[in-house]
Amino acid sequence: MSLIQKEIADFSVQCYQNNAFHAVTKADVLGKWSVFFFYPADFTFVCPTELEDLANKYAEFQAAGCEIYAVSCDTHFVHKAWHDASERIQKIQYPMLADPTHCLAKDFEVYIEADGVAERGSFIVNPEGKIVAYEVNAGNVGRNADELLRKVQACQFVAEHGDEVCPAKWQPGAETLKPSLDLVGQL
């Protein structure tokens, strides 16, 4: 079953961000574009490479009006300990959400019950709180922040220009398509 256009459930979780703990709720997400970036666990192998990649692109996500929420089933205390211990994780300025009760992982359907961790899932959520794009990878395959940013920008473009679509490898400013009978079988 597809999660496209699924509205995310109400939630309230603890977060570690900028050397402080605070709560993040669904109300904080509404009204802006968001990426929920699920990863299996803190203090692991592939996860810090992905989170550092996102940290290096964070200013570009912010410039696009998009917040990143990194999510694992660890507690906010573990997020802080990892931040204190890892040079890669110290680069992170975006919120690291704690999901020890698995409410987010279950709502986004990435929870692996047998292991108590989340799959490696990326979800783009529009300002109305609905999932408009997502991808779930095997735990041993890392993701690319450049491609995720491109997808956010494409989702934003089609939300603003409902009669146009973005072709493969589309970048902001590039040509889009207007679906019509004339294009069928021509591309």
Given the residues 47, 66, 155, 166, the one annotated as active site: 47
Neighbouring residues of 178: CB distance < 8 A, sequence distance ≥ 6 = 163, 164, 165
Is 66 known to be catalytic? Answer: no
Q: Both tokens of residue 154?
A: 């494409």
Residues composing the chain: 187
The residues annotated as belonging to the active site are 47
